[in-house]
Structure 1
């Protein structure tokens, strides 16, 4: 099965994978599933006519031993559609399963981001009322345009409602020299904002929902969500070129051949990092274990998905000392910690690759 992001969700890509008798799983973008279509799909959920299935995070062996409860990750439902597309001039047809998923963590993050945007929008609107040196006094029309721009910028139009208040002052001027007596009217428009509770509630309940597509009709909602969460991101490996320990950037080469050669050389290191990380994670997963002692400042924190960089830092302070004693040269290796030995064991490497250096 091919698992990818929304870029893989184009109809042509899905048609090709289905035509080659393979399977795909990917989220659909707003192009494939517009906001109006998503709202239509969720309407039965709000009316409690659509039954939702719950997705749980699988427990490790250690968690099962301690009798810990399963953690809920998401909820959702599935339905099937018939897809048609042209591929190399040939029209093909296949059945596709749509998975409408509500991720609790994703919804929580989106709500926090929404609250931040609302707060920023209301602060910016309140600042429009401030008068003082260097601040232009806006007319009613100018104020409305500025407010509309703020609401559009923070994507809170309809959630944040505004009210305009205009005060008119009449000033009577007495006659003075050549200036006759006159009456001047001055208007001052201010704006206030508040959150529409119903619009906010309707927006929040739609957060965290996303539609996924797969041509594997036997795939359950639980399997799909867990598979997508556990997918391998190829881009992360390429991102390692920019930082430690590979450090491709900054690049001080002009020759194309040398640039290619350097990248190919570093790709060997990248493969080793990926293989090392994969081996340790697989061993931890097979044993239902976690590794602790690799987080700086938090030695008790454990993880089942350590990165290669984090594990390599655990070996940073190993020292090999050369001592000359009575004409003989001896090598003394600093004692290995329990974490270092555990990492070597998980990676399938013998401790002797270090211990044999002593002597």
Structure 2
């Protein structure tokens, strides 16, 4: 099944057309054919260790030769050959052209919808140690960690995907300490080449919303919709607009296919604004019109308010414990208070003061009983008193703007309504699904065993191809199920009656685990028959059942 999809995607031929041939003394498979073997191993075994490929190829040599039609030697899968493949992919300047050619073919061959595309980045934390000599040019660096591991070095991975399947159009492995802002414009330009037009809606996170990105995308004929980064003075502007909307506020209704009745997502309004950007190099001025979308999500507002109430309760509990035992050191007490407020993000919502109460205690000299004439001395004592209270005005101001976000788009209201913009950005999880598969799923890149950074780039490139296989399988099957208004059952162990119209590639591939190739003593072969579930999946994939027959096996 995996090799069939890789053949349909023309992975081997596209790689071979863009890579130089292996060393002249090396006989056997081309880089593209070896990439197919390695990808098949990664997907089927959920393991990217190239040292294991040789043993796996040896165990499945007869099957692999029959399916592919290639002559596969025992040493085709050695870690040296795989390492050469990954390094060549990592250092070649043609890797962008390979991705563009591959994605162009898939968009055309499967008639994929091209109305929306999006991009995002994530970080991969590793335990690598870099020498001082190689620190500057290294890919592995300290940076902002989305894995919440700031103590580890990392590299970043960018994914640009196509709605609604989340199929990667592009991928790039980037240095761990860089900013994402400069990546969005080149990514958009490459996506226009793949998709073949500029009329698609480009979505990304707030780091894409720089003035230069928006100006240049608009100048070159693109359409974008980004959330705005909440840097000053935007928070104040948002608060003023929410309190006194300059235009009519409308309700945002969502119609979920699974719900019979539409639900109220929130409300919002839009403000048309003109923008000016000056290109630094040429000092040329660009002017264009945008719509600033001011949108409230009721669900987000509820979560934010509950979150603040929870943080206030926990922060006040910690301050109460500190109030009972403030200690004697004022600087230490101040430090502990700041740590609590910072930990619970309450600096704006709780104010405090530290009072000093001075008293004098009698300390008698000598031992024995005391009388009025006993001599004593007075010792000065300083007691610290912690006072704190909620800032009601700030808390109320937070609750007023809770759930509200600013978005910006250059699309007309006919091209992208307020409700459509909200629904489009709600799908921003699509690249995150790919990142999840890269980190914890069947296509996991972690842990990284390579020290060679070119091999890391080559591995991530192959993993994006494997992700294309998964997302393409899911798209084709789900489209068929949607057209037939049916669902697929018997995918879930222990609950065979459970049906779904959104099966995952992992579940569907697992359904083919029990197919066996029998080799008889006379060297004839026999393949076990397909069950009903396997036959149904093949029909939904538009794949002929003959790929699991001896005739297909013999012909490759």
Partner of 2:379: 184
Contact residue 247 and residue 270 of structure 2 kept, 8 A: no
Match of 2:531 in 1: 335
Secondary structure at the aligned position of 1:250 is classed as coil
Q: Which residue number corresponds to residue 245 of structure 1?
A: 442
Q: 1:76 aligns with which of 265, 268, 272?
A: 268
Aligned equivalent of 2:505, options 308, 318, 323:
308
* Residue in structure 2 matching 1:348, options 542, 548, 552: 542
State which of 99, 104, 115 in structure 1 corresponds to 2:309: 115
Query: Aligned equivalents of 1:121 and 1:182: distance in 2?
Result: 42
Q: Secondary structure at the match of 1:202?
A: helix
Q: Deviations over 1:223-252 (max 9, x none)?
A: 111122235744653664444433433344
**Whole-angstrom CA distance in 1 between matches of 2:423 and 2:319:** 43
* Cα separation, partners in 2 of 1:247 and 1:56, compared to 1, 3 Å: same
Superposition pairs of residues 107-256 of structure 1, within 5 angstroms: 107-129=301-323, 131=325, 137-140=327-330, 142-162=332-352, 170-176=360-366, 180-191=375-386, 193-218=388-413, 219-231=416-428, 233-234=430-431, 236-237=433-434, 240-254=437-451
Give 1:18 shift: 0.9
* Bigger shift: residues 246-255 or 348-357: 348-357
Give yes or no for the alignment of 1:86 onto 2:282: no
Distance 1:353 1:125 in 2: 68
Deviation at 1:176, TM superposition (A): 1.9
Deviations along 1:187-216, whole A, 9 cap, x unmatched?
Answer: 433436554555433312312211111111
**Residue 321 of structure 1 contacts residue 333 of structure 1 at CA under 8 Å; is this kept in 2?**
no
Unpaired stretches in structure 2, ≥5 consecutive residues: 1-200, 368-373, 552-556
Moved more, 160-169 or 102-111: 160-169
Other structure's SS at 2:270 match:
strand
Secondary structure at the counterpart of residue 79 of structure 1: strand
Deviation sequence 1:49-94 (CA, Å, 0-9, x none) = 864222222232x64xxxx211222311011000111246221111
Cα separation, 1, equivalents of 2:493 and 2:315: 38
Equivalent residue, structure 1, for 2:242: 42
Task: Give the secondary-structure state (helix, strand or coil) at the position aligned to 1:176.
Answer: coil
> CA separation of 1:121/1:183 partners in 2, compared to 1, >3 Å: closer, same or farther?
same
**SS of equivalent residue, structure 1 residue 309:** helix
Q: Whole-Å Cα distance in 1 between the matches of residues 334 and 276 of structure 2?
A: 47
Query: Given the superposition, is the C-alpha separation of residues 235 and 343 from structure 1 closer, same or farther in structure 2, using an over 3 Å criterion?
Result: same
Contact 1:322/1:331 (<8 A) preserved: yes
Q: Which residue of 2 aligns with 1:31?
A: 231
Question: Is the contact between residue 352 and residue 386 of structure 2 (CA under 8 Å) also seen in structure 1?
Answer: yes
Per the alignment, residue 273 of structure 1 pairs with 470
- Distance, in Å, in 1 between the alignment partners of 2:328 and 2:241 is 44
What is the Cα deviation at residue 351 of structure 1?
Answer: 5.4
SS in structure 1 of the partner of residue 213 of structure 2: helix
User: Is the 8 Å Cα contact of residues 311 and 344 (structure 2) preserved in structure 1?
Assistant: yes
The residue that corresponds to 1:5 in the other structure is 205
* Per-residue deviation, 1:128: 1.7
Query: Contact conserved, 2:349 with 2:395, CA < 8 A, in 1?
Result: yes
When the two chains are superposed, the root-mean-square deviation of aligned CA atoms in Å is 4.0
Quick one: distance in 2 between partners of 1:73 and 1:140?
A: 49
Q: Which runs of 5+ in 1 are unaligned?
A: none
Is 1:318–1:336's contact at 8 Å kept on the other side of the alignment? no
2:379 and 2:447 mapped to 1: Cα distance? Answer: 66
Report the TM-score, using the length of structure 1 for normalisation.
0.76
